[in-house]
Amino acid sequence: MNVAEDAGLFPYQEEGAAFLARVGRGLLADDMGLGKTAQAIAAAKKIAARRVIIVCPASLCENWRREFKKFWPGFGGELFVKSYNKAHDFGGATTCDVLILDEAHYLKNKDAKRTKAIFGPKCDGKGGLVEHAKHVFLLTGTPTPNHPAELWPLARAVFPEAILNPKIPGKPLAYWPFVGRFCKTFDNGFGIKITGGKNLKELRQRIAPFVLRRRKEEVLTDLPPIRFDTLPLEGIRLPVALNDAGMVESDVIRKTLAEKGVGGLAEIAPHVASLRRLTGLAKVAPVVEWVRDWLDAGGSKIVLFAHHKEVIAALSDALDRAVVVTGSTTPAVRQAVVDSFQNDPACRVFIGQLQAAGTGLTLTASSDLLFVETSWVPAENQQAAMRIHRIGQRNACIVRVATLAGSIDEDVQKAVLRKMQDIRSLWS
């Protein structure tokens, strides 16, 4: 069968489908927006799969069902779509022709319950959902959101041949030997912390037979460019509470950035939550003013991302006809919100919570995106930015980051950008 013609794939997507079908167990790590969903379905079709299991974030389950009907309308087999939180419902002995693990970086933590349910207690495939799958397709545009060690569970369970131990023939590297080989570490007195990667050229060579990674600029030469910029918010009179919190918490953040880099921010998040929340709220009024001016000046549609629900609520209250997606939004409402933003000319503002709306959505009705707040995980910001820069976008895109000029907020953004460069070096 001609899968490309039948499913309406681009040539590079046909190549991706052929790769997955050929390798059997591999990782499709294309940039966000290149249509990994379509390629995985086409690959399943190529091998004439009759029983397909898809595991993905809960918010993407309905989208997967829609896409499966779109790209394989005549499928007459069994299709099961489950969220990662319910993956254990399948049980360890469930068989399938194809197991698709979407947003596979959700399985980066070897000790997480969902990782063990899918990869087995030891991440070696035994006792997990992958054990009885003939083909396993890993899909993620950010395989290592923070450091190379996050690749270990995926490689160990799905393509262990890539990480064989040179000292023990035929045996894959265990977790800590893998970390020692490919990660920079830091002993903080309480344990080993991973701060970055090393020997990345060797790691790329090892995984190359099992991984296909394409950048937008490589395969979509006609896709409009994307530009990143800052939106400094100056002249803001900060609340007294923010000044008080900032005196102590800013020092904590600066010390963490100096010693551990942006990877250490997640560890101190509970201790600086007050500063982070108040900083986000302090941005609301000037951001609302800027968005209103931008719309009045002829801007068509804009996407806003934030971290805190309080910030999102304040933005929504102040901006007319804004649509919102947070972690509390049901899948059905989520899809209706996206459809409205994509198709209704009067719906001009989309506000999304980073972790809830930063993946799996197409928001190409807008070519402008503003981070009111950013994630402290660089890959989450990158994923969110790609909501507007993907297939279907016809205009040049601008992604802006709102910062409080002269504050710790600016220091954090610089650290996040440096970390993003470290992540990209492995996958470029």
Say whether 193 sits in a helix, a strand or coil: strand
Q: What is the pLDDT of residue 5?
A: 41
Q: Show the tokens assigned to 125.
A: 């495939």
* Domains within the chain, CATH numbers bracketed: 3-218 (3.40.50.10810), 223-427 (3.40.50.300)
Question: Distances from the Cα of 9 to the Cαs of 71, 142, 254, in angstroms?
Answer: 9, 22, 47
- Residues 402-427 as b/e (b if ≥16 CB within 10 A, e otherwise) read bbbeebbbeebbebbeebbebbeebb
Q: What is the mean pLDDT of residues 331-356?
A: 94
Beta-bridge mates of residue 196: 184
Residue 319: HSE in the Cβ half-sphere, 13 Å Cα cutoff = 32
- Find the Cα–Cα–Cα–Cα dihedral 252, 258, 259, 264, rounded to 10°: 60
Q: What is the mean pLDDT of residues 251-263?
A: 75
Q: What is the mean pLDDT of residues 284-292?
A: 91
Q: 226 versus 373: which is more confidently predicted?
A: 373
Query: Lowest-pLDDT range, 150-164, 266-280, 286-300?
Result: 266-280
Name residues whose C-beta falls within 8 Å of residue 311's C-beta, 6 or more positions apart in sequence.
Answer: 277, 280, 281, 283, 284, 372, 373
In tens, the pLDDT along 119-156 reads 999 999 999 999 999 999 999 988 998 899 999 999 99
Name residues whose C-beta falls within 8 Å of residue 388's C-beta, 6 or more positions apart in sequence.
Answer: 303, 363, 364, 366, 367, 368, 369, 397, 399
Complete edge-to-edge strand list for the sheet that includes strand 349-353 = 226-233, 397-404, 368-371, 302-306, 349-353, 323-325
pLDDT for 2 beyond 70: no
Q: What is the pLDDT of residue 6?
A: 45
- Give the confidence band of 248 by pLDDT, cuts at 50, 70, 90: low
Q: What is the pLDDT of residue 230?
A: 75
pLDDT for 235 beyond 80: no
- Give the confidence band of 409 by pLDDT, cuts at 50, 70, 90: confident
DSSP 299: -
**Range ranked top by mean pLDDT from 150-164, 181-195, 268-282:** 150-164
Mean pLDDT of the chain: 87
In tens, the pLDDT along 6-49 reads 457 889 999 999 999 999 999 999 987 788 999 999 999 999 99
pLDDT for 100 beyond 90: yes
Q: What is the mean pLDDT of residues 264-272?
A: 72
Say whether 121 sits in a helix, a strand or coil: coil
352 vs 138: CA distance, rounded Å: 26
What percent of the chain stands above pLDDT 90?
A: 55
- Give the confidence band of 240 by pLDDT, cuts at 50, 70, 90: low
In tens, the pLDDT along 54-66 reads 999 887 787 799 8
Name residues whose C-beta falls within 8 Å of residue 164's C-beta, 6 or more positions apart in sequence.
Answer: 170, 171, 172, 173
pLDDT for 69 beyond 70: yes
Say whether 28 sits in a helix, a strand or coil: strand
- What is the phi/psi pair of residue 31, to 5°? -50, 150
Q: What is the pLDDT of residue 371?
A: 93
377 vs 265: CA distance, rounded Å: 9
Pair 125, 12: CB distance under 8 Å: no
